[in-house]
């Protein structure tokens, strides 16, 4: 038996939707699982992170898979895992959430699916600590999540069939900006006016995506809770945002906690990515450009 798991990249926050909004992107990590009987773990990596990621029990995919075995109360007999990674590490594109779901879904499939997708999603959110990347990676599309009485409610927001297409450019600068560090710099308290500012704009952002209304997105994708504290710490980020807008992007935001920036436009225009890349280079950073689309479906599991 061979099991293939595919999980998409994600972009969280989307400006004002701090820790609550997330979007699945058409950039996929894939992993093949083959169960064995030697009680050993064999993991190989191709693509992103090949030279950095561990291949033993400390690998995030392996750890997540073993977590499912333990919860299911099933003995572990061994497995071979081969990963094809396309989502860059530590980029703000949900690589850790993708790894988490990959391991859990792969192990769940090997065990005959003792847990539903909803249960796997709940387990992944509890492990990750926040839902804004995990939920869209599992569900696909645009997802809003809330915490209600200590459990998470995630809702995939339905987009109109006749909406105008929104094209996505992600630029990932070569800058180490760990999520933990990005959280530590945020204020512990905010002013009421800033909370209102974000709440109102987050609602409009979701409607803009639903309709494909870039003018509305341009007006709403501003934030006062996290971006003003994070963007100044990423060399060239503000210059790249300004350059993207001059090149035709309707709206630009940090992707997750960064350091990547995500830009939205009415057409797939390479000039937007190149303008952002030059701005980062002007600040001394190399950068990579990804031309992407929204993914209307989330994680997949295939058995052969």
The tens digit of pLDDT for each residue in 183-242 reads 899 999 999 999 999 999 999 999 999 999 999 999 999 999 999 999 999 999 999 999
For 167-292, CATH gives: 3.30.70.890
The domain defined by 3-157+295-303 folds into Ribosomal Protein S5; domain 2 (3.30.230)
Domain boundaries, the chain: 3-157+295-303, 167-292
The predicted pLDDT at position 56 comes to 86
Between residues 229 and 148, which one has the greater pLDDT? Answer: 229
Report which of 186, 177, 289, 259 is spatially closest to residue 11, judged by C-alpha positions: 259
The predicted pLDDT at position 159 comes to 86
- C-alpha distance from residue 67 to each of 7, 23, 62, 217 (Å): 18, 26, 9, 40
State whether the Cα torsion 29-86-100-83 is positive or negative: positive
Specify the 3-state DSSP secondary structure of 179: helix
Q: How far apart are CA 255 and CA 261, in angstroms?
A: 5
Which tokens go with 87?
Answer: 């989502």
Which whole number is the average pLDDT over 145-161? 85
Q: How far apart are CA 298 and CA 272, in angstroms?
A: 27
Q: Which of 56-70, 151-165, 231-245 has the lowest mean pLDDT?
A: 151-165
- Tell whether the model's pLDDT for residue 164 goes beyond 90: no
- C-alpha distance from residue 138 to each of 113, 235, 299 (Å): 16, 32, 5
Which whole number is the average pLDDT over 138-147? 94
The predicted pLDDT at position 148 comes to 81
């Amino acid at each position: 038996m061979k099991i293939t798991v595919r999980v998409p990249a994600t972009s969280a926050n989307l400006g004002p939707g701090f820790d609550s909004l997330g979007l699945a992107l058409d950039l996929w990590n894939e992993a093949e699982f083959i169960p064995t009987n030697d009680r050993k773990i064999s993991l190989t990596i191709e693509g992103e992170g090949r030279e950095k990621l561990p291949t033993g029990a400390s690998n995030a995919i392996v750890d997540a898979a073993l977590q499912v075995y333990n919860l299911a109360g099933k003995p572990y007999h061994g497995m071979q895992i081969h990963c094809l990674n396309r989502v860059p590490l530590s980029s703000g594109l949900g690589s850790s959430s993708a790894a988490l779901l990959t391991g859990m879904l792969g192990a769940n499939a090997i065990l005959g699916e003792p847990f539903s997708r909803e249960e796997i999603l709940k387990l992944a959110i509890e492990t990750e600590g926040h839902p804004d990347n995990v939920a869209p990676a599992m569900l696909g599309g645009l997802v809003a999540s809330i915490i209600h009485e200590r459990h998470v409610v995630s809702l995939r927001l339905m987009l109109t069939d006749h909406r105008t297409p929104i094209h996505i450019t992600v630029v990932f600068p070569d800058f180490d900006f760990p999520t933990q560090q990005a959280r530590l710099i945020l204020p512990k308290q905010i002013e009421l006016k800033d909370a209102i500012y974000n709440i109102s704009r987050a609602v409009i952002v979701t409607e803009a995506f639903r309709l494909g209304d870039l003018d509305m997105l341009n007006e709403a994708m501003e934030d006062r809770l996290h971006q003003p504290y994070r963007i100044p710490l990423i060399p060239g980020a503000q210059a790249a945002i300004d350059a993207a807008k001059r090149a035709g992007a309707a709206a630009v935001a940090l992707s997750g906690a960064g350091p990547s920036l995500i830009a939205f436009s009415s057409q797939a225009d390479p000039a937007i990515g190149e303008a952002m890349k030059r701005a980062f280079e002007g600040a001394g950073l190399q950068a990579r450009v990804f031309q992407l689309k929204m993914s209307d479906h989330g994680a997949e599991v295939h058995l052969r």
